[in-house]
Structure 1
Amino acid sequence: MNRDHVDVQQAALDEYHDDPGDLPVMRARFEHNGSPRYLLYTIKRFGFDRDHGFHLDVQLVSDALEDGIETVEAQLQEGHADLIDIDYISIARERAEGADIVAFHPYGRTVGGLVAPEDSDIDGLEDLSGKRIGVVRRLDKNWILTRAACREYHDFDPDETATPVEAGSKVELTRMIREGEVDAGFQFWQIIPEITETGPYENVLPVSELVQRLSETDNKLPIAAFLTSGDYLDDQTETVRAFADAYRDAVDKLVEDDEIWEEISEKLMTYDDPNVMRAVRDGWRDMVVRDWDEESVDGMYRLFDHLKSVAGAEALGVEEIPEGTFNTDP
């Protein structure tokens, strides 16, 4: 995505950035290529922040790494942001290292799926052995989750019985799938429609299904969550609650209204193919988690234990989820 397109997206958001006046401000800093921007645009487009008594200031930032952490994380930890989203393993890791951060609302099941040719003989977990399986990297959560599920339900580890092939990037993984260098590949959810809607490929194994099985809960389980600093949560508790309300309004809009997705496609996406846009829309609707409770958090702990048993605490970067990482009722 070039800089011009990032500027176009920011301009689309800025169209709805009016004067906050006396309203409390929440500074949201999100990656320019991340799916939360669809939700944030919807909040601004329909004024859901003002409806709930606050001003959401949205700025799109780089997804580059700085000193080993994502730029959005640096924005929060350096005091330049009040709201970001990352996966909950990263939240736990940063909190264990002393960061004053708290996850206060879910975002979604930000995992991917196994993309294979339509004529592939791979239909599920039990078919992975003996195959060349593309992954962005061996420590990618899609691969670790798959390994955990294979060990739990089929008594084998595909890291040993299959041949995982590291692509190094999402773009390179897509190329490897299309050129047949791998039998299948674990791609991220928002990229899968670019492959399956434009060629003879299908998502044969949605990793979200593994998330649900391993977490042992019927609640739709989030992998990514919204977080803020402990200080902001203490000082602006009502604003944090107001964001959660605005978030629910935006989720309802995006789940029920197809027309807003046409607008989002025009202003925030790079897809020219309406079939791809609709597939991204449907994928987002399946991915997003509207709310959570203590049962959800219990499932997140169970899922963490499965990942730790496969990858080890060193690979995850954290031995356990610290107390106070999640606040389901701020």
Structure 2
Amino acid sequence: MKTLYAFCAAFVFAAGVVSADTLPTIRAAVLKIGTVNWELETIRKNGLDKKHGFTLVVQPFADNGATRIAVEGGEADLAVADWIWVARQRAAGKDYVFIPYSKAVGGVVVPADSTASSLKDLAGGKIGIAGGPLDKSWLILRAYAAQEYGMDLKADTEQVFGAPPLIFKSALGGDYAGAINFWHFLAKMKASGMKELISVEQAGEALGLDTDTPLLGYYLKESFLNDNPDLAQGLFAASRDAKQLLATSSVAWDAIRPRMNAKTDAQFEQLKSDWVAGIPDRGPVDEDAANTMLALMAELGGAELVGQATTVPQGLFADVE
């Protein structure tokens, strides 16, 4: 009997190994210090990839350009981008599909002693902007200023464009009347005493945009997903499970704190709070809402921003729920 039991146990163990080994693998190309690592590490640490039928392998890269080359060249299966960029690629003939990840967006912060109460109070001042003239947060804030105050934010201020860490450092040093940065740098700026003047979410709402539309997401090749029909839903489900865990468990955050580059407890708490606030509602992307946003981006940024994607390309958003 003991021999039979041992044989059965060994068989079950071996079968489990074979089953795990035969799961499809998703190779994620990510920035080494990117915030998406917080979710991906939570997925891996808690076995949420295996739970949902795949094995996640994370491949760090130095910059976004390298992650995009990795996916295009077949060295990786997944990377992160905003859906407007993915729409541009799909409209140009690439078979990229977008799976929602986050609605976290930036905003404008001002020094702690600033008397500014709205964007119009920044007239004549200098604004530091992470990214370039086609940064989507900057474009939305320009549209908002024009609608609310009849103000040409570009003409009425001096812009300084730069990398997010540079804008972060210069803003804390008091170099700008206001600063626009990516959400996680803004979180640290707020934790360091700067005040949020207006968020891109607030500006978007005033412009009639659906601010629950996830801006950021995972993109993969449609051909890869066709070869693995359940993978899109599996990835989305693992992502949602990780979000639920991070929204409810301080232990889950403690596990990834070393990756967060939080210099103080205040930064750590603000990063946690703003990340959770960026969790979108579960469900498919509303294409009508996305088309409204895309139309505004096309109006403000033209073909230089959206390329041939004047409307949301068919099949852009993965069918997940």
Structures share fold, TM-score greater than 0.5 = yes
Equivalent of residue 279 in structure 2, options 288, 292, 296: 288
2:155 alignment counterpart = 160
Unaligned runs of 5+ in 1: 1-18, 65-69
Q: TM-score, with normalisation over the residues of structure 2?
A: 0.86
Deviation at 1:27, TM superposition (A): 1.6
Change (3 A) 1:61 1:215: farther
Aligned position for 1:242: 234
Amino acid paired to 2:180: F
- 2:282 is paired with a residue whose SS is coil
Counterpart in 1 of 2:319? 328
State the alpha-carbon separation in 1 of the partners of residues 96 and 37 from structure 2.
21
| 2:5 alignment counterpart | none
Counterpart among 269, 294, 297 of residue 260 in structure 2: 269
In structure 2, what is the equivalent of residue 254 of structure 1? 246
Q: Compared with structure 1, are the counterparts of its residues 264 and 232 closer, same or farther at alpha carbon in structure 2 (3 Å cutoff)?
A: same
SS at match of 1:237: coil
Match of residue 229, structure 1, among 221, 225, 233: 221
Mapping of 1:1-330 within 5 angstroms? 20-63=20-63, 70-103=65-98, 105-136=99-130, 137-166=132-161, 168-198=162-192, 200-217=193-210, 220-266=212-258, 268-294=259-285, 296-320=286-310, 321-329=312-320
The answer to whether the 8 A contact 2:145-2:152 is kept is yes
TM-superposed CA distance for 1:36, in Å, is 0.9
Give the deviation of 1:126 after TM superposition. 3.6
Work out the CA distance in 2 between the residues paired with 1:31 and 1:240: 21
Distance 1:247 1:96 in 2: 26
Report deviation, 1:55. 1.3
Could you tell me how far 1:210 is from its partner in structure 2? Answer: 2.3
Which structure has the greater CA radius of gyration? 2
Q: What amino acid sits opposite 1:160 in the alignment?
A: A
Q: Distance in 1 between matches of 2:29 and 2:208?
A: 30
Taking structure 1 as reference, are residues 99 and 193 closer, same or farther at Cα in structure 2, changes over 3 Å only? same
Q: Secondary structure at the match of 2:85?
A: helix
d(CA) in 1 for partners of 2:118, 2:289: 23
Q: How many angstroms apart in 2 are the aligned matches of 1:213 and 1:318?
A: 27
- The aligned amino acid for 2:267 is V
Letter of the 2:196 partner, please give it: N
For residues 176 and 260 of structure 2, what CA distance do their matches in structure 1 show? Answer: 28
**Cα gap change, 1:26/1:319 in structure 2, threshold over 3 Å: closer, same or farther?**
closer
| Cα distance in 2, alignment partners of residues 212 and 235 from structure 1 | 39
Please give the secondary structure, in 2, of the residue aligned with 1:49: helix
Q: Is the 8 A contact 1:115 1:201 kept in 2?
A: yes
Q: CA deviation at 1:251?
A: 0.6
Q: Distance in 2 between matches of 1:212 and 1:292?
A: 20
Q: 1:314 offset after TM fit, Å?
A: 2.3
**8 Å CA contact retained: 1:88, 1:225:** yes
Distance of 1:108 and 1:30 partners within structure 2: 15
Report the CA distance between 1:290 and its aligned residue: 4.7
Could you tell me which amino acid in structure 2 is paired with residue 250 of structure 1?
A
* Structure 2 match to 1:14: none
Query: How far apart, in 2, do the equivalents of 1:96 and 1:108 lie?
Result: 22
Identity percentage over the alignment?
A: 26
CA distance in 1, matches of 2:45, 2:175: 43
Does structure 2 conserve the Cα–Cα contact (< 8 Å) formed by 1:54 and 1:239? yes
Question: Gapped runs of 5+ residues in structure 2?
Answer: 1-18
Q: Which amino acid aligns with 1:58?
A: V
* CA contact 2:142–2:153 (8 Å) conserved in 1: yes
CA contact (8 A) 1:248 1:290 kept: no
